[in-house]
Amino acid sequence: MVGGGQLARMTQQAAISLGVTLRVLSDSMHASAARVVSDVRVGDHESLDDLRTFAKDSDVVTFDHEHVPGEHIRALEEAGTPCRPGSAALLHAQDKRVMRERLSGLGVPVPRFAPVATAADVEAFGAWPVVLKAVRGGYDGKGVWVCENPAEARAVVERATGEGIALLAEEHVPFRRELAALVARSPYGQGAAYPIVETVQRDGICHEVIAPAPGLHPDRAEEAQRLALDIAARLGVTGLLAVELFETDEGVLVNELAMRPHNSGHWTIEGSRTSQFEQHLRAVLDLPLGDTRPTAPYAVMANVLGGDETDIYPRYIHVMAHDPGVKVHFYGKEVRPGRKIGHVTALGDDLDDVRERARHAADYLRNGPR
- Binding residues for ATP, as ranges, are 96, 133, 170-173, 178, 255-256
Stretch of residues binding its own copies (CB under 8 A), selected from 136-144, 149-157, 324-332, 349-357 = 324-332
What count of other Cβ atoms lies within 10 Å of the Cβ of residue 342? Answer: 23
Q: What is the C-alpha to C-alpha distance for residues 165 and 22, in angstroms, rounded to an integer?
A: 35
Residue number, 179 or 365, with CB nearest to its own copies:
365
Q: What is the C-alpha to C-alpha distance for residues 283 and 275, in angstroms, rounded to an integer?
A: 12
Stretch of residues binding its own copies (CB under 8 A), selected from 128-136, 137-145, 235-243, 323-331 = 323-331
Q: Are 3 and 24 in contact (CB under 8 A)?
A: yes
Residues in contact with its own copies, counted by CB under 8 A, come to a total of 44
Per DSSP, which regions of 186-238 are E strands? 191-193, 197-202, 205-211
Q: Does the footprint of its own copies cover residue 310 (CB under 8 A)?
A: no
Under rule CB under 8 A, which residues in 261-280 are in contact with its own copies? 269-270, 273-274
| DSSP H helices in 285-350 | 313-322
* Shortest spacing between CB 191 and its own copies, in angstroms: 12
Under rule CB under 8 A, which residues in 15-44 are in contact with its own copies? 15-19, 21, 34-38, 40
Stretch of residues binding its own copies (CB under 8 A), selected from 85-93, 106-114, 159-167, 282-290 = 282-290
| Contacts for 56 with CB less than 8 Å, ≥ 6 apart | none
Residue number, 168 or 209, with CB nearest to its own copies:
209
- Determine which residue in the list 282, 315, 340, 355 makes contact with its own copies, applying CB under 8 A: 282
Stretch of residues binding its own copies (CB under 8 A), selected from 4-12, 102-110, 223-231, 235-243 = 4-12
The residues facing 2 across adjacent strands are 25, 63
Q: Does the footprint of its own copies cover residue 289 (CB under 8 A)?
A: yes
| Contacts for 317 with CB less than 8 Å, ≥ 6 apart | none
DSSP result, 39-96: EEEE--TT-HHHHHHHHTT-S-B-BSSS-S-HHHHHHHHHTT--BSS-HHHHHHHHBH
Residue number, 34 or 168, with CB nearest to its own copies:
34
Q: Does the footprint of its own copies cover residue 358 (CB under 8 A)?
A: no
Q: What is the C-alpha to C-alpha distance for residues 36 and 12, in angstroms, rounded to an integer?
A: 8
In the complex, the residues that contact its own copies under the rule CB under 8 A are: 9-10, 12-13, 15-19, 21, 34-38, 40, 192, 269-270, 273-274, 282, 287-291, 293, 295-296, 316-317, 320-321, 324-325, 327-332, 342, 347
